[in-house]
Amino acid sequence: MAYEARRAADRVDTGRAHSARVYDFILGGKDHYQVDIEAGAAMCAEWPALPVHMRANRAFMHRAARYLAREEGVRQFLDIGTGLPTSPNLHEIVQAERPDAGVVYVDNDPIVLAHAEALLTSAPEGRTAYADADMRDPGTIIGSPAFRDILDLGEPVGLMVIGMLHFVLPPEDHPVLRRLLAPLPPGSFLAATIGTADFAPQEVGRVAREYERRGMPMALRTRAQAAAFFDGLDLVEPGLCQVHRWRPEPGRPLDDDRDIAMYGAVARIP
């Protein structure tokens, strides 16, 4: 992994902003470049609530993963679009509930691969692996050694697609997701978040245009369009909602709906 990390670092394009590094900058991380700072600052100028929105998206991932491990007994996860390793990572969340849980992390950003060793610090009873692959090429993910070595397709899998679907444009979006779901056995789960402009259309629209201007086009979905990603699956209560409203932590004040531009849901494969 150390050799692969060095090769990955050599591939990093420091002249062009990348969504994972912009996300890292806005959330106060340290793994980004000047071009990402400029992009993130411009986006926050368009919509000052962007950091609130991004924190809510990551908090949804934590709650959804914890729910699947604790209440549904899921012991293996496929995390698409992992992003930069910011603790707690998915394996830390699920292995706190089930120490023997296995996690396959997937991303195609060289800087994520360069930091992937931080994602492989599994509990002794569990396992983690990293696949350097693009979500738009599900065959590479499904055929990867990480997928084959970690995931037992005789048992349920938790497929996590957090903060990714708005970067997969139609007509690719639904076929890509269905291809990722196809090998998973009944009783598996999809946890996904989908970007929307339903609650702050002008501000979020400006952010989307800024992303596109910097080479990161996105598709923002209405509630009906977001719901279509879960067609044929059984939604877990409370169904599809803004991410901060999905099983919020008791006693914690809710963010303003206008500050959250992401739908989220967890659904079971029947």
Question: Residue 178: pLDDT above 70?
Answer: yes
**pTM for the complete prediction?**
0.90
Which pLDDT belongs to residue 2? Answer: 38
What are the extents of the domains in the chain? 49-200+218-268
Per cent of the chain over pLDDT 90 is 68
218 close to 261: Cβ distance less than 8 angstroms: no
Residues 136-153 have a mean pLDDT of 96
- CATH topology (fold) of 49-200+218-268: Rossmann fold (3.40.50)
Which of helix, strand or coil describes residue 193? Answer: strand
Nearest to 241 by CA among 193, 190, 178: 193
For residue 53, what are the contacts with CB-CB under 8 A and spacing of at least 6? Answer: 47, 259, 260, 261, 262
56 close to 265: Cβ distance less than 8 angstroms: no
Place of tokens 């990348």: 18
Which pLDDT belongs to residue 117? Answer: 65
Question: Residue 223: pLDDT above 90?
Answer: yes
DSSP designation for 258:
G
Question: Residue 159: pLDDT above 70?
Answer: yes
Question: Residue 8: pLDDT above 60?
Answer: no
Residues 164-192 have a mean pLDDT of 97
Lowest mean pLDDT of 44-58, 117-131, 162-176, name the range: 117-131
User: Which H/E stretch holds residue 105?
Assistant: strand 102-107
Supply 55's token pair: 């924190």
